[in-house]
Amino acid sequence: MRCIRDICFFLLAFTITSRGDIYKDEALKLMSETPLIDGHNDLPWQLRLQFNNELNTKDLHTLGSTHTNIEKIKRGHLSAQFWAAYVPCDSQYKDAVRQTLEQIDVIHRMCNKYPEDFMFASSSQDILDAFANNKTASLIGVEGGHSIDSSMGTLRTMYHLGVRYLTLTHSCNTPWADNWLVDTDSDPKEHNGLSDFGKQLILEMNRLGMLVDLAHVSEQVMNQVLEITKAPIMFSHSSAYSICPHKRNVPDDILIKVKNNNGIVMVNFYNDYVTCSKQANLSHVADHFDHIKKVAGSSVVGFGGDYDGVTRVPTGLEDVSKYPDLVAELLRRGWTADEVKDALGRNLIRVFKAVEMVRDNLNHTAPNDVPIALEQVKNPCRTDYGYSVLPSAAAMPSHNLLILSLTLILSLLTVRLM
């Protein structure tokens, strides 16, 4: 009797294992047909923190102190990655632009140093070309509007350097947008969402062909951007608020608006945004995929792991090599092959192509060159060249006009006396 029971247990275990292998095999098959595109990875920031961007001294094939290295990328079948060019909020009004340019530089140097593994990408077609050549397409997203120092010219310059999305805020307000901490009452509301300059910036991003990233912004900013943008938007690394009510996540009413916008929400793996606690596992992350699909459809969801930007990741998703296990879990939950392919990369490609189409349609529109008002950005670390012009008579205070009048009278009297 015991022997029969042992045989039954063995057969059950074998069946479960075999089914698991079937899901994993199917996941790998789908990932060989459709590029897995992740919306946010902070490896460049780890290169800054740990090595001060001295890339020459490190081997990214085997780097062991990060969630991400080339070997793990290969095992994870990661076909395209938006690398974050991130610098902290305490650089705002100081050297944020310089530091961001250095992060852009280190991403370019990653691609140049490892050309067999990385291909720099700045378009939707580049992603597909890299996939066809078995390389990881490497794109740049600037994480935090403070990185452009309230300058349309800086935004455009970063676009020319290959930046393809801007996260409007990080965890601080900019002079033109409120960040997510406003919704927790940790930061003061300064702009009721976006200022007039902020609204103009969204339209300039549309004109450029730069994706607008709403991760890290206040809910009011989410709503305002979704009302005014001419192109689909993205949440590069945010999860579902209904599953974990953290203000970094996306509420259901916004999910529906993202669907109507034809945008994308790329699910974050940070434990605190997955379960609102320090502990989480792979299944909890899949819950967010399920919820977004239920509310807004499979055409809205994507992967936004936030690897190397967070201190805690779920059990089963310890590093970038684990993506196939999450894909297998979605299949186990009944996701169809088409739905999985949507989430893997087809959704992001569709969004990117739509943003590029808006850019092309606005090709003959002049760049916005109206600067932000000086009083909104004036500080001891900022000069005011270009703002300093002689005031017109209408703008001069009355006592200045009196002095000017007396000066003219004295000049006339002097001429007559001569």
291 included as an active-site residue: no
Assess whether 342 carries a catalytic annotation. no
Is residue 237 part of the annotated active site? The answer reads yes
What is the distance between the alpha carbons of residues 78 and 81, in angstroms, rounded to a whole number? 7
pLDDT at 19 (0 to 100): 56
pLDDT value, residue 388:
78
117's tokens: 């593994």
CA geometry: angle 106, 108, 114, nearest 5 deg? 100
134 vs 130: CA distance, rounded Å: 6
Which of 67, 77, 170, 284 is the catalytic position? 170
**CB of 212 closer than 8 Å to CB of 233:** yes
* Annotation says 216 is catalytic: yes
Q: What is the pLDDT of residues 34-75, one digit of tens each?
A: 999 999 999 999 999 999 999 999 999 999 999 999 999 999
Structure tokens at 151: 């300058």
204 is catalytic: no
Catalytic residue of the set 117, 143, 178, 308: 143
pLDDT confidence of residue 395? 44
Catalytic residue among 42, 117, 213, 287: 42
Query: Residues 6 or more apart from 12 whose CB is under 8 A from it?
Result: none
**pLDDT confidence band for 405 (50 / 70 / 90):** low
Which fold is adopted by the domain 22-375?
Answer: TIM Barrel (3.20.20)
pLDDT of residue 389: 62
Catalytic residue of the set 146, 191, 237, 284: 237
Q: Which of 38, 40, 246, 308 is catalytic?
A: 40
User: How far is Cα 231 from Cα 222, in angstroms, rounded to an integer?
Assistant: 14
Catalytic-labelled residue, pool 126, 149, 178, 306: 306
Average pLDDT (105-126) is 98
- The rounded mean pLDDT for the chain is 92
Rounded distance between C-alpha atoms, residue 344 and residue 79, angstroms = 10
Domain boundaries, given as residue ranges, for the chain: 22-375, 391-418
Tens of pLDDT, residues 188-236: 999 999 999 999 999 999 999 999 999 999 999 999 999 999 999 999 9
Assess whether 40 carries a catalytic annotation: yes
Helix (H, G, I), strand (E, B) or coil at 235: strand
108 in active site: no
Among the options 216, 246, 284, 288, which is catalytic? 216
Query: Which pLDDT tens digit goes with each residue over 175-197?
Result: 999 999 999 999 999 999 999 99
